[in-house]
Structures are given as structure tokens and as C-alpha cells.
Chain A
Amino acid sequence: MSSVPAMFERTTRYLELPLNLRSRVLLVIAAVLLGLIYLLPLWKMTMFAPQYPDGLRLSIYGYKLEGGNKGQDTKEINLLNHYIGMKDLTAEEFTEFKWIPFVVGAIALLCLRAAFIGKNSYLVDITVLYGYFAAFSLWSFGHKLYSYGHNLAPTAAVKVPGFMPPMFGYKKIANFEIYSYPSPASYTMAAAMVVLLIALAWNVRDARRLSMNELRERT
């Protein structure tokens, strides 16, 4: 540690500290919460029109699209969208379905790794990485909606100006009322973030109580 510049010494030594027990438990909880993305939908969109009084439903998972009415709703949505020249909603179009499960799995594994052999630096890495991943995923989702609504085939039978489907809340588009809300997996993902931040906060607070000498002794 002698080569560490004095101004970073405290931070560097803090990062080398082992995690406290409570944080390790929280990391396991975070891993479990992340794992729920394989079970629960992330987002739900519901579309009503006079002709569809029961609505057309679309559940977006981290790894698949699931249409309501045993998948029929996805087909119906694609069928309707083809009139305005929108691309089909298919699993192949969503590259997210390939990397989201992989990244979440990797982060969950990193959580477990930090829980067992962990140091504070692991926790910081995971929190930053996860925060970046979450932000990027949200942007990617928004971008996907935007490009679906704007990249309309110029040969479409019905020409509509490009539009942004709602990401959060309600929007009326042509004869459809569209509702879009996050679903349980988004909340468990957010909960995982909160859990990580709590663990981080606890460790920072513990570290602050230590004097420089105590820090040097422990690392």
C-alpha cells in the first residue's frame, strides 16, 4: 500500500475492507431478487379498441414476449400493425432477450461471489455495473419503442406519422387506448438495486467509524 498516493489511501484501503455480515446477506438477497427476472414479466402493455373490448395484452419478459390469450394477442397486434407498416414484434427483433438474461445472471453470480469471498470493492463494482446495466436497459427499451413507432414501411396501406408508444402510462393512438406499466420483475430489479445501495451504505458507515490506523491494521 506504500505506493498509494496519500489522498486516495483512505478510499483504497476502504475498498480492500472485507464486507460485513449484514451486507453479505443483502448480496444473497439481491442475487435472489435478480433471479426473479427469469420468472416474472418486466413490463406490460395493454391495448383496448372498440373492436377489442377485452383488450390485447403483451407481457415483456427479460427473455421473451408473451401475448395474452395464449399468445394470440401478439399475432393480432402484429396483424394490425402491418397495416401501418410496423415491423413484427418477434423475439428475433429483440436482441435484448439475448443479453439481458446473460447480464443479469452474471451480476447475480457476482453478488454471490462478493457475498462469500467479498470485499467492499466487489460491492462497489456490482452496484455501478448494475446501475449502468439498468439505465442502459431502460434506454434500450425506450429506443426500441421509438424505432418501432417510427420505422414504418413507406409502402404501408395506412400511412400514419411516426409515433412514440407509451413507455409509462396511457396514450391514445388511432382507435387504440394503450396502457404501459412496469411489471413485477421491474420492481424486483429495482429492489435489488435498493438492497445493493443499503449494503453499500452500511459498509461506508462502518468504514467511516474507523480511524486511518485501524484501517491500515485491517487491510
Chain B
Amino acid sequence: MNQRKNYFVALAALAVLVTAGVLAGRCAPSAPKGRRATTGGSDLAIAAQAVYVPPGDLDTYYMFASGGHSGQVYVYGIPSMRHIGTIPVFTPYPATGYGFDDETKAMLGNLTWGDVHHPALSESNGDYDGRWLFVNEMGGRIARIDLRDFKVKQIFGPMANVSGNHASAFITPNSEYVFGASRFSIPVQKGTVAPIEQYATAYKGIITAVKIDKATGTMSQGFQILMPPFDFDLADAGKVASDGWVFFTCYNSERATGKLETTASQRDRDYVAAVNWRAAEAALAQGKGDLIGGVKVLDPKKVPGIVYLMPCGKSPHGVDVSPDGKYIIGSGKLQGVTTAFNFEKLQTAISAKNFTGDEDGIPVLKYEAIKDAEVPVGLGPLHTQFGPDGYAYTSLFVDSAIAKWKLGTWEVVDKIPMSYSIGHLSAAEGDTVSPDGKYLVGLNKLSHGRHLSTGPSQPESSQLVDIADEKMKLLMDAFTEPEPHYAQIIKADKIKSIEVYPKEENKNPLAIWDVKDAGISRQGGKALVKVVLVRSTITPTVIEVTQGETVTIALTNIEQTTDELHGFGLLDYNFNIVVDPGETKTVTFVANKAGVFPYYCTNFCSALHQEMQGYLIVKPKA
């Protein structure tokens, strides 16, 4: 009896083990415990109402998103997250004929791409004024888009001495300057060579101030500041209390080369460079500064009092000044806290000379003396925006979330997951002196299948978050072309844009307004063709030139009706011009191919759009 009992016990034990084994094979968790909490979901009814803009109704905000290495700027409506338009900036864009006509071609030079990073809306008294949008590009250029017609009016640069203009474009509260700084230090001036072993001493970082004309927005080179070879990352201008200053984050204070992901990540603290740009202006007025590459460059070693280094937790990315200008928030991307510096303490430390050392003659401030708090926001803090009620919002790349925290109490009050790996974020007017709150957009780097597949080349994801209440609420996912590094959201009614170019404003000497004036003329062996575009004829309908002749075609769209754009696509000659109502554009080319080449209106205009065509006849050379 006893034996039998033991036998059964043994069998039961075996059965339990086998069952456990089989179950174990299948019970590796398929989802994390907190799945619901870690991937963004939203309350359908609330979210749908919040983002629904009925047909015909308009959004209340514009969002201008940098297009990264696409070279463009993308315009969105908020809260619908609809992509309304693309503003071509550094890359030719046949959709609007950008980069094909003489003027925009000259503006682009021979460059065909740019890496747009940070848009900067023009400001008056620290608030967006809706006049211009400045965007930087890694190749050392800054473009100005006029928000009256959403067109690029000026591309400034490539600037002297600056290499990798990443920490740009950041604008001062009254649009006095738009700043930039180099991410890649090189020996200055550009074109000189020093071996990489001399990186720490012979390579230089450059902070560049580009002056903005108050009335026209025209950019011109202001001053530059010679800096140690740190990698300058982001910036923000001081405002209100801290007006007159601009702050730049920099990593690689190790002055390392090679495998930077390791070599530039050794120090526990890098810096925020605090630049007193008014002091720099004063120094220039006294004739200080050396001419390098044609630019007045201030060396802080020779001109003390213009730059101070604030130690900031590891490899900081974003530096953001609070709406009242009192706090400077530096986010070390390789740590779990964001650091709040106090501008008043900064001033006290400077006047008390509370320094711990220097870098190439630039005083390093004592961290403990200028810091107010280390806010435990979470892992990988990158960038901070502000709300109207003293709240700050910090993006967390590693945690893939946004932390909401309070200025002054430094208390983290809410977190919301982002899908996935958020980079920058943009709150409605969230970097001005009077943030609007309401909406925030997380600009995520990974979308990981939250959209229909478009193959291996995937869109970035941008998520709209409601920040009107205490708890942040995810409203919607939208997808954008690469690569929204930063975006700015401005109240729609601040932008007063036109829909046609008024005829009386067209000062182009080649503009004509009557089909009778259209036709070809020759001057100095060059052909000039004045063309009228109007529904539904391109006049003249035949253009005759001789092979080898240089031809300038001046196209005037004489329409004054909204949305009546006309195109001029010329087959086999590789260009397409699009002319807006009331606009004149010219295109110059050498008619080197003999033959008959049709041109036609590319931008659909009317019922007889298909008939809007003509022929370029290039007679062979005798």
C-alpha cells in the first residue's frame, strides 16, 4: 500500500514538472506589464472632438516644422495636424518651381540640399510677431521665409568660419540677431589645415551672430566669438530678466576626437555657454575683435566679460529659458535629471568671480552657485517647452515620454508616453514670453508601425498632446517627412498672409500685363521672351530661337484670383517654373538642343488647362 502511494506521489511530481516545462515554453511574456501605460492610447471620444476640424473650418494654430535633411519646412494646421504646405528652402522643389527660376536658382547657388534643424519665428518683445521665419541648415546657412507669402526671401551664407551650424537658428526677443554655432570644430579660418592630433588647441568652435534688419528682415553678418573646440548643440536667447544674453549647450568638452560616442561622453558635466551679446556689441563698438575670414571675431581671452561657462549635466542637448527669463533649463541627454539654473545666481556668481577654473580663458562658473535644482524628469531629457501656468514640459528620449513639471517647486506632476523616442517638442508659443498652453506636439524619431507600412523608409511620428488640463492627454498621431528636429507653433491670427501678389506691387522690369506685349526680342545676341500666363493660354504659343542662343523667358501670371497658379514646364530642357497670381519669374538657359519642344501649364488651372501649351522651336545652327 505504502509502495503504491509513493509511486503515485512520484508520478504526480513528474507530471507537475512536465506540465510546468511545457507551459514555460509558451509563457515568456508577450507584452510588458505596463503595456497600456507605455504605448500611447487616447480616450476616443475626447480626442476625436478635440482634433476634429470640420470641412471648411480652419485650424487655430500653424506649426512650422523643420524638414531636416529634406531641406524644407513643412507647415501644419493644429489641432487637425493636417499638412497644409511645404515651403522649399534649401532643396529644389518642382512643385512650386523653386530652384528652377533664375532668382531661386541663384539663391541656392550650386547647392542642392541642406539639413534644416531649428525654425525661429521672428519676435517682438519676446513674443512671436508673425513676420518672418528663420531656419538654419548644417552647411552654415540661414534662410529667411517671409510669412506674408510663405516664400524664402534670403539665404544667408555659407557663413565664414562656422562649420556645422547646428546650434541655430535662435533669435533674440526683438529679432536683433539670429544666432548660430558650430557643431563641428575646424581650424579657422576655413580652408586652413591642422592635424587632428592638435584638435584641442588648433581647432575652434565658433558662435556666430547674424544681424537682422528691423524693417526688412535682411540678414547680414554680425560678429563671431572664438570658442574652444566643443560641439555646440542648441541655444536659446535670454528674455525679460535675462534679455541681452544667449545660452548655448555644448558637448564634447573633453575636446575628444575619433569615436565620439565614447570619447566625448567621459565627463560628467559639459557646459552651457552663457554669452552676453550686448557686452559683445559694446566691445565691437570699442573696436575690439580680429578680422578672420572677413568677419569680426571676438576672442574671449582678449575680451573678458562676454562669455561664461555654466557646468551642465552630461552632454546637454536643449537649453531653454523660462518665459520670465529667470530660469535656464539645461538638459543633459545622458542623465536622468534636467538642471534648472537661476539667472540671478548666475549674475551674482559672475560678479563675485565664483569660478572653478577656465577653458581657454573663459571662466567656468561654480555649478553649485548657479544651480537651483536638478529636476528628476526621467531618462534622456532633451528639450523643454513651457506652458502659461508655470509648467514646463521636457521630452525624454530614452524613456520615450514627456514629463510635466513645475518651475520653482521642481515637482514632476505628470508623464505621458510618446511613440516612440521623442526628440524635440513644441508647445503652442511655448518658447516665448507668453506661452499659450493648449497644445503640444511631440516630435518623435521612431514610428514603429503606428501607421500603414510604407516600406523600410519610414515617416517620423508627431503626436498632438492636450496640455490644457492637469493631466496630459494624447490626442492624435500624425506622420511627417524627415526630419522634424524642432517645430514652432504660432497662433494663426498672428500671420497676415496674402493670397495673390497685387499687380501694383510687381516691380519686375520684365513683367507685362497684356498679351499684346508678349513676344520675343533680341539684345546682344540673347533672346528675351516675355510671356503672359492667363487662363488658358501661354502667350506666345510659339517661341522660335536658334540653337546655341541664350534664352531668357520672363513669365508673368497676370491673374489676380486666388489659387490661379500657372506652370511652365519645358520638356527635354529639365525645368518647371510655377508662377503665382501677380508674380513674374524668369528662367535663363542655353538652347543647345535643336528640335521642337512643347511647353505647357503644369499647375492645373481651368477646364481648358490641357490646351494651355505651346512650342519652343530651336532651329539648328546653319
Beta-carbon contact of B334 and A181 below 8 Å: no
> Please, how many angstroms separate the alpha-carbon atoms of A49 and B266 in the complex?
26
Q: Does B455 contact A (CB under 8 A)?
A: no
Please state if B31 and A40 are interface contacts (CB–CB under 8 Å).
Answer: no
Q: Does residue A57 face the partner (Cβ distance < 8 Å to B)?
A: yes
Q: How large is the interface on A (under 10, 10 to 19, 20 to 34, 35 or more residues)?
A: 35 or more
CB contacts (< 8 Å) of B54 on chain A: these are none
A40–B18 Cα distance when bound, in Å, is 13
Q: Can you list, as one digit per residue, whether each of A175-219 has a CB less than 8 Å from chain B (1) or not (0)?
A: 101010111101110110011001001000100000000000000
Contact B25 A50 (CB under 8 A): no
* Contact, CB under 8 Å: A187 / B24: yes
Answer yes or no: A156 CB below 8 A from chain B CBs: yes
Residue A55 interfacial (CB < 8 Å): yes
Given contacts A51-B420, A175-B400, A187-B17, is CB(A40)–CB(B25) below 8 Å?
yes
Closest to A85 in B: B262
Please give, as numbers and ranges, the residues of chain A lying within 8 Å of B268 by CB-CB distance: 159
Within 8 A of A (CB), among B244-272: 261-263, 265-266, 268
Q: Which residues of B560-612 have CB atoms within 8 Å of chain A's CB atoms?
A: none
Query: With the chains together, A197 CA to B329 CA distance in Å?
Result: 65
Whether A133 sits at the interface, judged by CB under 8 Å, is no
A55-B31, A156-B265, A158-B334 as given contacts; A175 in contact with B379, CB under 8 Å: yes
Residues of B contacting A187 with CB < 8 Å?
Answer: 17-18, 20-21, 24
- The answer to the question of B4 belonging to the interface, with a C-beta cut-off of 8 Å to chain A, is no
B residues near A179, Cβ cutoff 8 Å: 28-29
A190 and B17 in contact (CB under 8 A), knowing A51-B446, A157-B265, A177-B33? yes
User: In this assembly, does B399 line the interface, its C-beta being within 8 Å of a C-beta of chain A?
Assistant: yes
Find B21's partner among A51, A155, A191 (CB 8 Å cutoff). Answer: A191
Set of chain B residues within 8 Å of A44, measured between Cβ atoms: 24, 28
* B residues contacting the other copy or chain, number (CB 8 A): 43
In the complex the two chains form, is A181's CB within 8 Å of B28's CB? yes
Inside 8 A of A55's CB, which chain B residues have their CB?
Answer: 29-32
A157 touches B417 (CB 8 A): no
List chain A residues, Cβ under 8 A from B34: 177
Residue in B28, B30, B418, B446 with the greatest tally of chain A CB atoms within 10 Å: B28
Q: Which of B29, B265, B419 contacts A50 (CB 8 A)?
A: B419
- A153-183 contact mask (Cβ, 8 Å, vs B): 1 or 0: 0011111000000000010001101010111
A157 to B263 CA separation, bound complex (whole angstroms): 8
Known pairs A44-B28, A51-B421, A190-B17; A157 contacts B262 (CB<8 A): yes
Interface centre among B17, B18, B20 (most CB of A within 10 A): B17
Which residues of chain A are near B108, meaning CB under 8 Å? none
Instruction: Compute how far the CA of A181 lies from the CA of B27 in the bound complex, rounded to whole angstroms.
Output: 9
Q: Are B24 and A181 in contact (CB under 8 A)?
A: yes
Majority SS at the chain B contact face: loop
Which one of A48, A159, A182, A190 contacts B32 once the chains associate, using CB atoms below 8 Å? A48
Report the Cα distance A181→B315, complex, angstroms: 37
The answer to whether the Cβ of B6 comes within 8 Å of any Cβ in the partner chain is yes
- CB-based nearest A residue for B315: A157
Query: Are the CB atoms of A183 and B38 closer together than 8 Å?
Result: no
B398 touches A184 (CB 8 A): no
The yes or no answer to B622 lying at the interface (CB within 8 A) is no
Q: Which of A57, A157, A195, A201 has the most CB atoms of chain B within a 10 A radius of its CB?
A: A157
Tell me the residues in window 19-45 of chain A with beta carbons closer than 8 Å to chain B beta carbons: 40, 44
Q: In the assembled complex, how far is the CB of residue B560 from the closest CB belonging to chain A, in whole angstroms?
A: 52
* B334 adjacent to A184 (CB under 8 Å): no
**Which of A50, A159, A182 is B401 in contact with, Cβ under 8 Å?**
A50
Q: Does A78 contact B (CB under 8 A)?
A: no
B513: min CB distance to chain A, Å: 58
Measured CB to CB, the nearest residue on chain B to A83 is B261
Q: State A157–B380 Cα separation when bound (angstroms).
A: 12
Do A174 and B398 form a contact, CB below 8 Å, given A50-B419, A51-B446? yes
Residues of chain B with a CB closer than 8 A to A137's CB: none
Q: Is A147 an interface residue (CB 8 A)?
A: no
Q: A49-B400, A55-B29, A155-B262 are in contact. Are A174 and B379 (CB under 8 A)?
A: yes
A5 within 8 A of partner (CB): no
Cβ < 8 Å to A, chain B residues 1-56? 3, 6, 10, 13-14, 17-18, 20-22, 24-25, 27-35, 38-39
**6 pairs across A/B with beta carbons < 8 Å?**
A50-B39, A50-B401, A155-B266, A183-B24, A186-B21, A198-B10
- Residues of A near any B CB (own CB < 8 A): 40, 44, 46, 48-51, 53, 55, 57, 83, 155-159, 170, 174-175, 177, 179, 181-184, 186-188, 190-191, 194-195, 198, 201, 205
Given contacts A181-B28, A191-B17, 11 further A-B pairs with CB under 8 A are: A48-B32, A50-B401, A51-B420, A53-B420, A53-B448, A55-B30, A157-B262, A170-B33, A187-B21, A194-B13, A201-B6
